[in-house]
Structure formats: C-alpha cells, structure tokens
Amino acid sequence: MRLLIMGPPGVGKGTQAKGIAEHYGVPAISTGDMFRAMKGADTPLAKQVQEIMNSGALVPDEITDAIVKDRLSQPDAAGGWLLDGYPRALGQVYALDAVLASGEDAIDAVISLTADEEVLVARLLKRAEIEGRADDNAETIKNRMKVYHESTDPLLAIYRDRGLLVEVDGVGGIEEVAGRITAALDAKLA
Ligand code: AMP
C-alpha cells in the first residue's frame, strides 16, 4: 500500500497518518517529523531548516526531495508507505514521480483531509498551548495557511486528474475520522 495524506495545517494529518499506516502495516513517513528531528543539531543545514520552519515557509525542494528519496530507499519502506506532508509543492510531485518511475512502485491513493479554516486555526492555537511547537504561533499559523493555499492546495487537482484522490471530512473525533478514511480507501481500492 502506497499512500499520500494531504491537507491544510491543523487538519490532523499527522495523527491520522500514524493510525492509517498502522492499519495497513506500512511506515508513516512525515517530512515535518524528519525536519523536527534535526532540531538542535549544530549544522548549517539544521539551522537553515529550523529558521524556515519557524517562519512557516517551505523547506527548499532540493533538500526535501533528497531526504524523502533517501527514506523511501530504506528496507522498511520496500513493502509500502504512507507519506505525510509530502509532496507539498509542484516540483515535489514530479520528484516523487521520478523516484517511483525508477522502480515498480506506484501510488495507490491520495487522502485529502478537509476542514474549515476557522476550525483549523483554533486547533493549531490549542496545540501550541499543549505541545509548545515553535511553529504554532499566530503569525506562523497565518503564513502556513497562506503557503498551503498557494503551494499545496493546487496539487490536489493533479491527483484528482490521475484518479487517485479520496476526499475525507477531517472534522470529528480521531476514531471517527480514521473510520471515514479506511472506509473511503476500502471503497476506492476494492
Ligand atoms: P508539518 O509537520 O507537516 O506541518 O511540517 C512542519 C514544517 O516542516 C512545514 O511548515 C515546513 O516548514 C516543513 N515541511 C514539512 N514538509 C515539507 C515539504 N514537503 N516541503 C517543504 N517543507 C516541508
């Protein structure tokens, strides 16, 4: 099973990605988590990534594409994966296509989680209080929403045209949304 999960900041992508990946027995690969893992490392690359994340902008494609390509080549990803937060820009779609074209793998479905922006901003501000994520402040949240609309939202049309998109309402309890996702995937892949 090879899946992508996409959606605006705060829609619950990360939480759902972990549950769905577990359900299908594949690793959940989150570029945001990989970048956060670089936090505190005393290298120019780690510092550059940290600054970009704190502003809510996207890490440059050449860095992001390279870490994803590397991660997908690891043994645990051979049998499938769920990519959370990648691709997020047009160039990344084509970079992923190139990685997949070099092997036998293809994307089975792209989950698009949807929610109203007001609901999302409220969720993110709450998460900021609980988790203290450096990129969950009001200013960065605003910028991440803008970046999402400009760079990532347009990618949904590409996957829709390819017949891969599965749209799921992301508003509700964790279990409720997870149930909707697996039902929608089962229907799509049946
Ligand atoms: P996330 O946890 O998915 O919301 O990602 C947190 C931050 O990591 C984003 O705001 C970006 O700065 C960076 N990031 C994550 N995934 C990508 C990606 N595919 N391309 C560029 N930047 C990314």
> What residue numbers bound the domain in which 70 lies?
2-189
In tens, the pLDDT along 72-89 reads 999 999 999 999 999 999
Cβ(56) – ligand 1 distance below 6 Å = yes
Cβ(111) – ligand 1 distance below 6 Å = no
**How far is it, in rounded angstroms, from Cα 166 to Cα 78?**
23
pLDDT at 18: 97
Cβ(9) – ligand 1 distance below 6 Å = yes
Pocket test for ligand 1, best of 5, 6, 33, 35 (most atoms within 8 A of CB): 35
- CATH code at position 67: 3.40.50.300
| Burial group, residue 60, by CB count within 10 angstroms (0-12, 13-18, 19+) | middle
Provide, rounded to the nearest whole percent, the portion of the chain with pLDDT above 70.
100
Q: Which of 94, 66, 72, 74 lies closest to 3, judged by CA?
A: 72
Model-wide pTM > 0.85: yes
Cβ(32) – ligand 1 distance below 6 Å = yes
* Tally of structural domains, the chain: 1
Atom 15 in ligand 1: residue holding the nearest Cα: 32
